[in-house]
Chain A
Amino acid sequence: MKADMEQVLSVLVPAGVEFIVIGGWAAALHGSARSTLDVDVVYARTPENIRRLVLALRPHSPYLRGAPPGLPFSFDEQTVRAGLNFTLTASVGSLDLFGEVPGGGSYDALLPHSEEVEALGFRFRVVTLERLIWLKRAAGRPRDLESIAELEALLEERRRMEAAGEVAPGP
């Protein structure tokens, strides 16, 4: 299942779901050259946002990724309230929903460390490059070492280019 960001955005953004893009797609938006196989977002855990999220995603058959077919899984408000993080496959692509992330906390905690971007015809929030590095380091996964190195090199290059006036300063 591909990470179809455009389709995921076309479901979440018009529905008014409050979310922040993290993970590989956040890295790509900041300039990473590494590909990613799913879309990771941190969503707000307010009752209203959970309702929006469920209403937006339900028509796209969300199901637990990697789970055997036929499990009694229902993506509804009760399920989302009772759970926190969900690794899903849906007709719009693979989607990881995080109520909280290690090193980043909840949506509200991450919000000051996010920026608004316009891409693929939508306006949405993405975690800052600095905080993305922080999150990757906090996750402490050996497989992230190459990714962290690339993101830190990206940040160094961005700062160098900003200082030289080659690109506009970030937020």
Chain B
Amino acid sequence: MDCCPLDSRPIPARQAGTPDEPRFEPGSDPVIELYKQHVDRTLLVENLRHTHDERARRMQAFLRALDSLRGHARGGREEGPE
């Protein structure tokens, strides 16, 4: 694991419920609730069972595959039709 010295300053403890600390209240925004009905929660639950590293590696692999596909698509367009 490559690491470097992180910010060594003490980090004040979060105080949930203070005006500065948002508390998530489900159903507080009817527009968001409407959008929420279309969220695939099975995928979220699966992701929550993974570590940060696993989530990051999956996203990185997806983005690299997407970039590779875009590269192939660009190459195909530059070659043009037979």
Contact = CB atoms under 8 A, between A and B. Distances in A.
Contacts of B35: 145-146, 148-149
Contacts of A169: none
B14 interface: yes
A122 B52 CA distance: 11
Interface string A113-131: 1001111111111101011
A111 B59 contact: no
What band does the interface of chain A fall in when counting residues whose beta carbon is under 8 Å from B? 35 or more
B4 A13 contact: yes
B12 interface: yes
Q: Which of B31, B35, B51 has the most CB of A within 10 A?
A: B35
A73 interface: no
A59 interface: no
Interface residues of B, number: 46
A113 B44 contact: no
B74 interface: no
Given A16-B5, A35-B62, A153-B36, A118 B52 contact: yes
Interface of A: 2-6, 10, 13-16, 18, 25, 28-33, 35-36, 44, 111-113, 116-126, 128, 130-131, 133-134, 145-146, 148-150, 152-158, 161, 166-167
24 contacts: A2-B66, A4-B60, A4-B63, A14-B2, A18-B6, A29-B56, A31-B44, A31-B47, A31-B50, A32-B44, A33-B44, A113-B14, A116-B6, A117-B52, A119-B56, A120-B56, A122-B2, A123-B4, A126-B52, A128-B14, A131-B22, A149-B35, A153-B41, A157-B41
